[in-house]
Amino acid sequence: MIIRFLHVPPIPQSSQNPTKIHHNTLKKTSVSPKNGVLTATAPPPLVTTDSGLRFREKILYLKSLKVNPAKALHRNPNFRSTSLQSLKSVEKCLSSMGIERSEFGRIFDMFPQLLTCDPDTDLYSVFGFLLDDVGLHFFDIRKSILRCPRLLICSVEDQLKPTLWFLRKLGFMGSSKITSQTTMLLVSSVKSTLMPKLDYLMGLGFEYEEVANMVLRSPGLLTFSIENNFKPKVEFFLNEMKGDLGDLKKFPQYFSYSLEGKIKRRHRLLVDQGVSVPLWEMLKVSDGEFTARLIEARLRLGDKR
């Protein structure tokens, strides 16, 4: 048998690094079984199996979502072993509920454990609860999640459903039902968070029904700290303002205003000018309107004198 050889050009050498050969210039030789011709064939494509490269891909993915990789790794070590495909399944799930990609960074930075969750068991169950049990419209899901991302890591059976039942018993039904603005209440513990606040307000002398009505008018009451909000504001209201608890019952929004930034400052201006106004009028109006009303009231007092 006669074997013919094809001419194979010499392998080019780099002038800067003579020992380095680019893989595209190196051909693999083989003998054709049909004609015995020795030919040059290209090597098979390189397959990336390097775990370090795959890990870098995941890091770049986090950065594209505006997520701090170091923080995510520290708080969720499982991220190191999860696949990029799994990470993208979480993104796909959130996107299907109207959450925009530009909003993922804040959510994942707050709760990196979401990066390695199972969308079917962990996320869609929460979305189903908000739609079916709470009764939110689809377009309100995004508002609820952005306002309180903690909803996504709460157990539906152990946390969300019992709290919803408690809030409905308190009166959050009908025109006062839970909305996208108040779903944040669902992440609170009934025993250690909600009940102590109700007990504190009843301890001031209010009846349960009165406290329930105050909370329905101002749901933020259930999110305020007893030590940092209720106590100092009640103390100032009773001791400095010489207020009547009946005014708090009529205007529970009092607790939502800054003690130092608004309550004390406006009360001091009223005292200095010798003017008295209802609690709601003192706080509810804008700074400009408050100043205008203060001047008007001062002029009326001057005319009477």
DSSP state letter for 180:
T
- Residues 84-98 have a mean pLDDT of 95
Instruction: Kindly tell me if the per-residue pLDDT of 290 is higher than 70.
Output: yes
Q: Which residue has the higher pLDDT, 228 or 51?
A: 228
Residue with tokens 């504190």: 200
Give exposure, 34-67, as e/b (b: 16+ Cβ within 10 Å): eeeeeeeeeeeeeeeeeeeeeeeebeebbeebeb
Residue 303: per-residue pLDDT: 57
Residue 33 CA to its chain's centroid (Å): 65
| Integer Cα distance of 202 and 209 in angstroms | 10
| Whole-number average pLDDT of the chain | 86
| Percent of the chain surpassing pLDDT 70 | 82
Residue 24: which pLDDT band, with cuts at 50, 70 and 90?
very low
Q: Which residue has the higher pLDDT, 192 or 17?
A: 192
Give me 86's structure tokens: 């799994």
Helices and strands, number each (H, E), in the chain: 14, 2
Give the number of residues written for the chain: 305
Instruction: Specify burial of residue 79 (Cβ count, 10 A radius: 0-12, 13-18, 19+).
Output: buried
For 172-186, write each residue's pLDDT tens digit.
Answer: 999 999 999 999 999
- Residues 141-169 have a mean pLDDT of 97
Q: Specify which residues 30 forms β-bridges with.
A: 39
Give me 10's structure tokens: 């010499």
| Integer Cα distance of 160 and 133 in angstroms | 10
Instruction: Kindly tell me if the per-residue pLDDT of 195 is higher than 90.
Output: yes
The structure's pTM equals 0.78
